[in-house]
Amino acid sequence: MTDPILVEIVEGTLASVEKEVETAIARTARSPMIRDAHDFRAGIHDARLRKLTGRSYSALVQPVVRDFPVESMRPGDVYFHNDVYLSEGGIGHLPDLCVTVPVFHEDAVVAFVQAFGHHDDIGGSVPGSMPSHARSVFEEGLMVPPIKLWDQGVPNEAALRIMTRNSRMPDSLAGDLDAECSACLMGARRLGELFERYGRQAVEECFDAIIDKTTETFRRELLSKIPEGTYVWEDYAEHDGVDEPRLHAQRITLTVDHAAHSPLVIDFTGTSPQAKGPINHAGDYADGVFLKKWLAPVLRNLADTPERMAELDVNEGVVPLITMIFPEKGTLLTPVFPAPTNARTFVILRLLGVLAGVLAKATGGRMPADQETIRYTGVHGTDADGQPYLMREVLGGGSGGRWYADGEDTIHVVPDSRNIPVEFAEARWPFRVERLALACDSGGPGMFRGGLGYDKHIRMLRDASYMSIADRSILSCWGVNGGLAGRPFRVEIAGKEMEGLVDDHPVQAGELIRIRTTGGGGWGSPYDRDPRAVAADVRDGKVSIAGALGDYGVVLDGDRIDEQGTAELRARLRPPADRFFDRGPGYAKLSDGRTFAEVDEL
């Protein structure tokens, strides 16, 4: 039997090494997206290519080992790739650059340290390498299949020169890659010390124990709460940048059989055909192993308490619990090369919500309402010195209300990621941030309110171009169990409303860009929310007086709650029966006036 104390030591060491790698990258990288917004993550994998750490998702080692047998690897080697269609599903779009370093013990590869993140620019037709109207991956930037970027400690200067030559931000790209390679090499040394201290057999037995513990914990504590049966639900992306806005469906049919080796079967049949524009995600590789680890954190919402949920890591142990069935080639999840993919967040983020929705149907609502916590906004142009610049920010939004609490405000789905500090932005780029606040009334009304999005105002000091890669500008984050949908994404420039997908809308010096990100959906009927909580939201600026009256039926007289008036108004406003899902008014615009989908029925 594996020594449980040694398992704790190894598990703690893995978490420490992963954190040290990420800290090193954050302190030495050059680009704002990596250094300041922290849109990257590290991962540690064993020699069997299994992900051992659970702080965040990561890319895969499979494509590196596929092209470079482990027997050919040497200490100091660093491998690189960003090719979506040659990444086995681990890379979603070309700006996500991945470096992989093998760990050695007694001349044998025993593990891998990996880092991948979203970089400023890797070429393509527009600054930022995310052309919103792309029809081909060839428009999106430089594709690099797995290559050896460092050979036994010596950088491949020719490859680095090719990559930086294709970037509009060559200095920051070079700095970021150097930071990531050096940090992963450092992490490999740290892991090598672990093997030297305890020996390969003991450490690998601990790896098995760590993964087995996750499998057993998820099976016993989480999956056991889902009744056996088959459940179907779907949600939608609203536009692809090429065709007119319409419903691009992502469907999950979930079958639960607790006696099976894999208790969950996730079938994506019914997902819409691949889009002409860049919202496709190549997920049907390596049996969907990336998507299994990407979706599994949703299951943590089934934990007995929020505290227990926070304790549960997602590593390779979740993979054997899930079987995935993909439709034939040519859908949003099974695109055919060279379909564009740069806005694939519209699909993979929506899939998190689809799984949450189908689980809500299965568990009587014991799932949070919807959230949409990634959208890219920014400006590009030239500064006072005539130098080109690119400011791109991943602004979060509100998370969904939960069966026990309100949603969180302005969260970011990438672990430890954040908005760009105002002081840094104003010192670096020619604009002024006049407001950065919570977007009042953006959270979906509910017994537990959805979290609020951002309200950000940017005043341009020089002529520039605005860019945006954002969904949920028509559709809303849905509410559940009687909760109502949140407010959608909105951008106005000089008072003119923008679409969600924009490459280069001109902005004149002095004009104001107002960005309002999505609010999470509400959970439970808003007419069951404690009026004192509504009054507190009004005092805090999270809900307006009009919102308190119209959305919650709460009558306020200054700071005082009119209890009789509230009771009478709620009696008039309360519908005869709550809908289990509320998709918001935007759904009717894209569905010929329908207010709910057939799959919404319980």
**Residue 339: what pLDDT?**
98
Q: Which of 229, 223, 72, 210 is nearest to 152 (CA)?
A: 72
| DSSP of 344-406 | THHHHHHHHHHHHHHHHHHHTS-S--------EEEEEEE-TTS-EEEEEEE--BPPPP-SSSP
My answer on whether 573 and 589 are in the same domain is no
In a domain, 25, yes or no: yes
Mean pLDDT of the chain: 96
Say what the pLDDT of residue 372 is. Answer: 83
Residue 373 is predicted with a pLDDT of: 74
Indicate the SS3 state at residue 294. Answer: helix
The tokens of 601 are what? 């029925």
User: Domain end: 171, 186, 216, which one?
Assistant: 216
User: What's the average model confidence in pLDDT over 334-354?
Assistant: 96
Residue 238 lies in a domain: no
Residue 325 resides in a domain: no
Distance CA 521, CA 453 (A): 11
Task: Confirm whether 108 is domain-assigned.
Answer: yes
Asked if residue 55 has pLDDT above 90, the reply is no
| pLDDT at residue 226 greater than cutoff 80 | yes
**What is the model's pLDDT at position 188?**
98
DSSP 8-state assignment for residue 525: -
Question: In the predicted model, what is the mean pLDDT of residues 189-212?
Answer: 98
Both 424 and 546 in a single domain?
no
**Residue 363, both tokens:** 């568990």
pLDDT tens digits, one per residue of 139-165: 999 999 999 999 999 999 999 999 999
Residue 344 confidence (pLDDT)? 95
Q: What is the pLDDT of residue 544?
A: 98
The answer as to whether 38 is a domain residue is: yes
How far apart CA 368 and CA 484 sit, in angstroms, is 12
Indicate whether 165 and 82 sit together in one domain. yes
User: For the residues 250-267, what does the mean pLDDT come to?
Assistant: 98
Q: Are residues 21 and 135 in the same domain?
A: yes
pLDDT digits (tens, 9 = 90+) for 383-433: 999 999 999 999 999 999 999 999 999 998 777 788 899 999 999 999 999
Residue 36 and residue 164 in one domain: yes
Counting the structural domains of the chain, the total is 3
Both structure tokens of 2: 């594996």
> Do 443 and 541 sit in the same domain of this protein?
no
pLDDT at residue 54 in the model: 84
Residue 196: band (very low, low, confident or very high) from pLDDT cuts 50, 70, 90:
very high
Please report, to the nearest 10 degrees, the dihedral formed by the alpha carbons of residues 302, 305, 310, 311 taken in order. -100
Q: What is the pLDDT averaged over residues 54-61?
A: 83
Query: 114: helix, coil or strand?
Result: strand
Same domain, 445 and 564: no
Q: What is the pLDDT of residues 95-139, one digit of tens each?
A: 999 999 999 999 999 999 999 999 999 999 999 999 999 999 999
Q: Are residues 535 and 407 in the same domain?
A: no
Whether residue 421 is found in the same domain as residue 558: no
Q: What is the percent of the chain where pLDDT is above 70? A: 100
pLDDT for res 423 = 94
* Same domain (yes/no): 542, 511: no
- Alpha-carbon distance of 107 to 110, in angstroms, equals 9
Residue 362 lies in a domain: no
pLDDT of 52 strictly over 90? yes
Last residue of a domain, one of 216, 247, 275: 216
The whole-number pLDDT of residue 559 equals 86
Predicted pLDDT at 374:
82
Domain stops at, among 185, 216, 247? 216
pLDDT band at 1 (very low <50, low <70, confident <90, very high): confident
190-197: which pairs have CB atoms within 8 A and are 24 or more residues apart?
Answer: 190/13, 190/16, 190/17, 190/20, 191/13, 191/14, 191/17, 191/44, 191/103, 191/110, 191/111, 191/113, 192/103, 192/104, 192/105, 194/10, 194/13, 195/103, 195/105, 195/110, 196/105
Amino acid at 30: R
Range name among 370-374, 450-454, 582-586, 597-601 with the lowest pLDDT average: 370-374
Owning domain of residue 565 = 529-577
Residue 308 lies in a domain: no
pLDDT of 587 reads: 97
Instruction: Give the three-state DSSP class for 424.
Output: helix
Residues in Cβ contact with 399 at an 8 Å cutoff, skipping those fewer than 6 apart: 368, 371, 373, 407, 408, 411, 450, 451, 520
Q: 467 and 433 share a domain?
A: yes
pLDDT at residue 57 in the model: 75
Average pLDDT over residues 450-464: 98
Secondary structure (DSSP) of 84-104: GGGTTT---STTEEEEEEEEE
What is the mean pLDDT of the segment spanning 91-98? 96
Residue 28 inside a domain? The answer is yes
The verdict on 205 and 139 lying in the same domain is yes
Q: What are phi and psi of 236, to 5 degrees?
A: -140, 145
**pTM for this one?**
0.96
Tokens of 545: 């007086």
Q: How many CB atoms lie within 10 A of CB 4?
A: 10
Whole-angstrom distance, CA of residue 581 vs CA of residue 571: 21
